[in-house]
């Protein structure tokens, strides 16, 4: 373990964020953060489950129970649920395309890690609805979900279309469901999505089995060093997506050559910063064309100035998943170093900030953000928990 006192501080924040209804996204009330969110709640629950703490595992169970209790009749999952009155929100201008996957991941990881099947047996119908609604979101039956703008965790960023991160979460959800059921339908669908990812999200000299003809000429602007963030009929997104690339490593999407190229890029990126790695890079600057789309996409106040928030900001939660991925690929020294930096970031001035400035590391998000603590716990437990790596295999 890198730093036992700082690890304990992360656990303490999860205690502070615990309610009878589950984990809230942040301890203080600000912009709806003091609610049980599907995405934040599941990630925090995974950290709690890996920690082995009995009290926190109980809150993880409550989180999953609360979220599935509020599933919409059409199958999509709530964005968040108020612990005060049980009121559920299903998104703002657009819904959350990543939440059905996160919900299934939460249900499955709880069942696997605790061997308590009570939630699994209770929510089988709801699990099927999660998969069914994602099938309809393909729109064309070609194995990729179409994600609306503001439709996943980076809800004030510019991406929409076939965003890689959301496809990977669906693969993970299907693999976990197959592990518990041995239902070949889940395995086959996961494999079909994986094949579609490998054929379309890595730049090659000659693109085979391209998802659409327009992608062939669009990919000339993509990097050959990492997995493509996403594409839509009009464009690709050439930015490095930390989250998606971490999950490509965790899920074993790439071959050895691709993994080596990606890991070299990540090492170079990390060496240049000697800090946390930005969630999206390079930063969109004021004069860049993408700033025109970025600058009006916010709910309460514009936060995506250069090197802030989604736009080049440093997020402890996603760095935690990358540290975990580095450990599973044998890059232990870098994983340890990055984990130490996550602890440092979480204890920088205002403790456990949501994110930090991409250049000077000053806090620039909501304080006492629960999944920032979860990122540190996941990074640590990836190196200690015997079951961690197995969670990503079918």
| 366 within 8 A of 31, measured Cβ to Cβ | yes
- The reported pLDDT for the residue numbered 208 is 76
Model confidence at 92, in pLDDT bands (50, 70, 90)? confident
Q: What is the CATH number of the domain that holds 115?
A: 1.50.10.10
Q: What CA–CA distance (Å, rounded) separates 338 from 340?
A: 5
Across residues 181-209, what is the average pLDDT? Answer: 93
**Per-residue pLDDT tens for 148-183?**
999 999 999 999 999 999 999 999 999 999 999 999
Angle, vertex CA 377, rays to CA 374 and CA 378, nearest 5: 85
Across residues 250-256, what is the average pLDDT? Answer: 98
Q: What CA–CA distance (Å, rounded) separates 381 from 384?
A: 5
pLDDT over 80 (residue 228): yes
- The reported pLDDT for the residue numbered 65 is 98
- The reported pLDDT for the residue numbered 394 is 77
Q: Work out the mean pLDDT of the chain and round it to a whole number.
A: 95
Quote the distance between the C-alpha of residue 18 and its chain's center. 21
Model confidence at 207, in pLDDT bands (50, 70, 90)? confident
| 37 within 8 A of 79, measured Cβ to Cβ | yes
- The reported pLDDT for the residue numbered 183 is 97
pLDDT over 90 (residue 13): yes
Q: What CA–CA distance (Å, rounded) separates 305 from 291?
A: 9
Burial (0-12, 13-18, 19+ Cβ within 10 Å), 330: exposed
Model confidence at 206, in pLDDT bands (50, 70, 90)? confident
pTM, full prediction: 0.97
Find all residues with CB under 8 Å of 11, minimum gap 6, and list them. Answer: 51, 53, 56, 373, 377
Angle, vertex CA 277, rays to CA 29 and CA 291, nearest 5: 75
Model confidence at 1, in pLDDT bands (50, 70, 90)? low
| 159 within 8 A of 230, measured Cβ to Cβ | yes
- And the tokens for 271? 């060496």
Q: What CA–CA distance (Å, rounded) separates 385 from 51?
A: 8
Dihedral sign, Cα of residue 36, residue 131, residue 390, residue 179: positive
pLDDT over 80 (residue 335): yes
Q: What CA–CA distance (Å, rounded) separates 203 from 229?
A: 12
| 164 within 8 A of 230, measured Cβ to Cβ | yes
Phi, psi of 249 (to 5 degrees): -70, -45
- Domain range for residue 46? 4-392
Tally of structural domains, the chain: 1
| 283 within 8 A of 311, measured Cβ to Cβ | yes
**DSSP calls for 43-85:** HHHHHHHHHT-HHHHHHHHHHHHHHHHT--TTSPPPSEE-TTT
**Per-residue pLDDT tens for 286-323?**
999 999 999 999 988 899 999 999 999 999 999 999 99
| 249 within 8 A of 185, measured Cβ to Cβ | no
Give the least confident one: 12-16, 125-129, 209-213, 275-279: 209-213
Q: What CA–CA distance (Å, rounded) separates 236 from 160?
A: 10
Q: What CA–CA distance (Å, rounded) separates 170 from 345?
A: 30
């Amino acid at each position: 373990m890198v730093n036992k006192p700082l690890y304990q501080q992360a656990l303490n924040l999860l205690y502070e964020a615990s309610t009878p209804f589950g984990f809230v996204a942040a301890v203080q009330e600000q912009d709806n953060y003091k609610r049980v969110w599907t995405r934040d709640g599941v990630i925090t629950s995974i950290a709690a489950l890996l920690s082995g703490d009995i009290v926190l595992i109980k809150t993880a169970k409550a989180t999953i129970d609360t979220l599935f209790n509020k599933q919409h009749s059409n199958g999509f999952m709530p964005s968040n649920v108020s612990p005060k009155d049980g009121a559920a929100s299903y998104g703002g201008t657009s819904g959350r395309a990543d939440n059905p996957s996160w919900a299934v991941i939460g249900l499955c990881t709880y069942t696997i890690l605790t061997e308590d099947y009570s939630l699994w047996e209770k929510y089988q119908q709801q699990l099927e609805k999660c998969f069914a609604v994602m099938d309809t979101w393909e729109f064309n039956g070609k194995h990729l979900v179409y994600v609306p703008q503001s439709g996943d965790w980076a809800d004030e960023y510019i991406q929409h279309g076939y965003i890689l991160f959301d496809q990977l979460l669906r693969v993970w959800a299907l693999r976990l469901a197959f592990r518990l059921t041995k239902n070949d339908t889940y395995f086959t669908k996961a494999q079909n999505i994986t094949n579609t990812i490998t054929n379309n999200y890595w730049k090659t000299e000659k693109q085979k089995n391209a998802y659409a003809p327009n992608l062939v000429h669009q990919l000339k602007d993509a990097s050959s060093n990492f997995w493509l963030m996403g594409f839509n009929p009009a464009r690709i997104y050439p930015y490095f997506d930390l989250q998606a690339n971490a999950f490509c490593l965790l899920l074993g999407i790439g071959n050895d050559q691709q993994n080596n190229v990606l890991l070299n890029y990540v090492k170079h990126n990390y060496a240049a910063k000697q800090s946390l790695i930005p969630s999206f890079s390079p930063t969109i600057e004021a004069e860049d064309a993408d700033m025109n789309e970025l600058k009006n996409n916010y709910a309460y106040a514009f936060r995506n100035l250069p090197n802030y928030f989604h736009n080049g900001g440093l997020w402890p939660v996603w760095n935690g998943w990358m540290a975990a991925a580095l450990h599973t690929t044998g890059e232990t020294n870098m994983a340890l170093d990055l984990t130490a930096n996550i602890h440092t970031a979480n204890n920088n001035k205002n403790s456990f900030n949501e994110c930090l400035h991409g250049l000077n590391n000053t806090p620039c998000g909501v304080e006492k953000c629960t999944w920032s603590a979860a990122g540190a716990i996941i990074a640590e437990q990836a190196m200690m928990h015997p079951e961690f790596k197995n969670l990503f295999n079918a």
